[in-house]
Amino acid sequence: MSFVASAVERMMGTLPGGSSLAYRTWCEVLYTPKGSNESKDISEEISKYLLSLDYTDNIEGQADDLSLTLEDRAQLWTADWYPQRGSKLDVTIYTLNRGRLDEGLKSLFLGSFEVDEIEIKMAPATVQIKAVGVTFESSLRGEKKNRTWEKITVKKCCEDIAAGNGLTLDWYCENNPPLDHVEQSDESDLEFLKKVVKDAGLCLKVDLKKLTVFDEQQQEKGDAKLFFLHPGLEQLAQKIQDGTDGPRYIYSFADYQLKAKTRDVYRACHVKYKKGKEKAVIEATFVDPSKKEGQTLDVSEQCETVAEAERLARKKLREKNKEEVTAAFNLTGDTIYAAGQLVQLQHFGVFDGKYIITRVALRLGGGFTASLDLRRCLDGY
């Protein structure tokens, strides 16, 4: 039986019949020494000394990271319990009866992390164990390579690199752009792949076991399962919240910030390229369907066809405009939040609309809190 299950069973045994336990949180930590395939549940040892757990989930571009801060007056973590760099931590957060007394146990697997840094401090005596969701010792990021691909696709390139690094590939894209010629020149596989995926207008996320490639535009077309209501609308939320696994309505926040950019935002993108010795002009324009006025972004990059120019115009406009409207919310922690989720903001005036979570920061210690960064989804591109 796991540490968390044992803790719940032990506490339930002390309650009179028909009673329910109040809201509680735990973290489960499985430790795998470097070079071993066998993990050990160290949750009980961690729970005695844990001051805080900090976890960050990024939608793309950066690896997820984890930090455990532990009290160490007995200097256990600098002696027999010292975690070797390169060891692995599998971490899960559990909540019991967070929203209702009959909600039961909920969990969120944060992921697998490789221990990267150990920091010791005195007065008070603490140890901080930092870990990241990508290995430092694999060739994926530690080895510079030179090679060339001809007549392949972005997916095939990703498959080759995943297989070469002992990883699997999760591909969540309807489109699979062709690559006529692409060179990896004195770059790690990760550096090179980030560039290939970005140039294709797609997103890359890496963890210890897999590469994930997805299309943000495609993801933004989904339906929001989380609804953030303006504070003061508790009665509305309670009226429409049915207590099932349907949409969740959140109306209580520690604080929040909404921001709209007015500079470096464009209505359209015009691509123009003169091809070959004949200087044949290839051009295309994409216009944001939600904007009635604004500047046009001019781009001059190599394109072989009008269709390719249209895709480039759409991609470049998206890159410029996707951070136009952003939001940040600090609220009580929950197991439901993850980067990539869609959130509908309601009753926030001009800031209403569908947003995507770009970053989740969870903190367990002196309570359970969440900090969310969001950006408003673009319309049609």
CATH number for 206: 3.55.50.10
How would you list the strands of the sheet with 168-172, edge to edge? 168-172, 210-214, 203-206
- Judged against a pLDDT cut of 90, whether residue 329 lies above it is answered with yes
User: Averaged over 323-346, what is the pLDDT?
Assistant: 96
Identify any residues that bridge with 103 across adjacent strands, giving them in sequence order. Answer: none
pLDDT of residue 8: 67
- Judged against a pLDDT cut of 70, whether residue 331 lies above it is answered with yes
Read off the pLDDT of residues 30-47 as tens digits, 9 standing for 90 and up: 999 988 889 999 999 899
pLDDT of residue 278: 77
Report whether 310 contacts 193 (CB < 8 A): no
Question: Do 37 and 97 share a domain, yes or no?
Answer: yes
**Rounded distance between C-alpha atoms, residue 99 and residue 89, angstroms:** 28
Please tell me the total count of domains within the chain.
4
User: Of 156, 154, 149, nearest to 181 (Cα)?
Assistant: 149
Least confident span in 49-53, 174-178, 269-273? 174-178
Listed in sequence order, the residues at least 6 apart from 68 whose beta carbon sits closer than 8 Å to its beta carbon are 29, 46, 50, 52, 53, 89, 128, 129, 131
Question: Do 251 and 115 share a domain, yes or no?
Answer: no
Report whether 313 contacts 270 (CB < 8 A): yes
- Judged against a pLDDT cut of 80, whether residue 157 lies above it is answered with yes
Confirm whether 381 is domain-assigned: no
Confirm whether 305 is domain-assigned: yes
Share above pLDDT 70 across residues of the chain, in percent, rounded to a whole number = 91
Write down which residue in 88, 116, 132 finishes a domain.
132
Question: Do 34 and 119 share a domain, yes or no?
Answer: yes
User: Of 315, 321, 294, nearest to 303 (Cα)?
Assistant: 315
Q: What angle do CA 56, 61, 62 make, to 5 degrees?
A: 35
- Judged against a pLDDT cut of 60, whether residue 244 lies above it is answered with no
Question: Do 87 and 68 share a domain, yes or no?
Answer: yes
**Rounded distance between C-alpha atoms, residue 205 and residue 287, angstroms:** 29
pLDDT of residue 9: 67
- Judged against a pLDDT cut of 90, whether residue 320 lies above it is answered with yes
Nearest-Å Rg of the Cα atoms of the chain is 24
Read off the pLDDT of residues 110-141 as tens digits, 9 standing for 90 and up: 999 999 899 999 888 999 999 998 776 667 88
Question: Do 175 and 288 share a domain, yes or no?
Answer: no
Task: Give the structural domain span for 18.
Answer: 3-132
**Rounded distance between C-alpha atoms, residue 188 and residue 168, angstroms:** 18
pLDDT of residue 245: 61
Write down which residue in 132, 165, 187 finishes a domain.
132
Question: Do 255 and 187 share a domain, yes or no?
Answer: no
Confirm whether 249 is domain-assigned: yes
User: Averaged over 16-26, what is the pLDDT?
Assistant: 71
CATH number at residue 45: 2.40.10
Q: 225: buried, middle or exposed (CB in 10 Å: 19+, 13-18, 0-12)? A: middle
Confirm whether 341 is domain-assigned: yes
Question: Do 154 and 193 share a domain, yes or no?
Answer: yes
Tally the residues of the chain: 381
pLDDT of residue 304: 85
Least confident span in 34-38, 149-153, 331-335? 34-38
Confirm whether 300 is domain-assigned: yes
Q: Long-range contact list for 235-243, CB < 8 A, 24+ apart?
A: 243/100
Residue 241 pLDDT grade (very low, low, confident, very high; cuts 50, 70, 90)? low
**Rounded distance between C-alpha atoms, residue 203 and residue 154, angstroms:** 12
pLDDT of residue 78: 83
Confirm whether 371 is domain-assigned: yes
Residue 100 pLDDT grade (very low, low, confident, very high; cuts 50, 70, 90)? confident
**150 CB neighbour count, 10 Å cutoff:** 9
Our CA dihedral for 309, 310, 313, 319, rounded to 10 degrees, sits at -110
Question: Do 118 and 38 share a domain, yes or no?
Answer: yes
DSSP string computed for 177-220: -EEEEEEEEEE-HHHHHHHHHHHTT-EEEE-SSEEEEE-HHHHT
Confirm whether 200 is domain-assigned: yes
Question: Do 249 and 366 share a domain, yes or no?
Answer: yes
User: Of 63, 66, 113, nearest to 88 (Cα)?
Assistant: 113
Dihedral pair phi/psi, residue 82, rounded to 5° = -60, 120
Question: Do 157 and 191 share a domain, yes or no?
Answer: yes
Question: Do 354 and 278 share a domain, yes or no?
Answer: no
Continuous segment of H or E residues that includes residue 170: strand 168-172
Structure pTM? 0.89
Write down which residue in 218, 235, 252 finishes a domain.
218
Question: Do 37 and 162 share a domain, yes or no?
Answer: no
- Judged against a pLDDT cut of 60, whether residue 186 lies above it is answered with yes
Average pLDDT, the chain: 89
Q: Name the token pair of 300.
A: 């001059």
- Judged against a pLDDT cut of 60, whether residue 242 lies above it is answered with no
pLDDT of residue 366: 87
- Say which DSSP state 100 is in: S
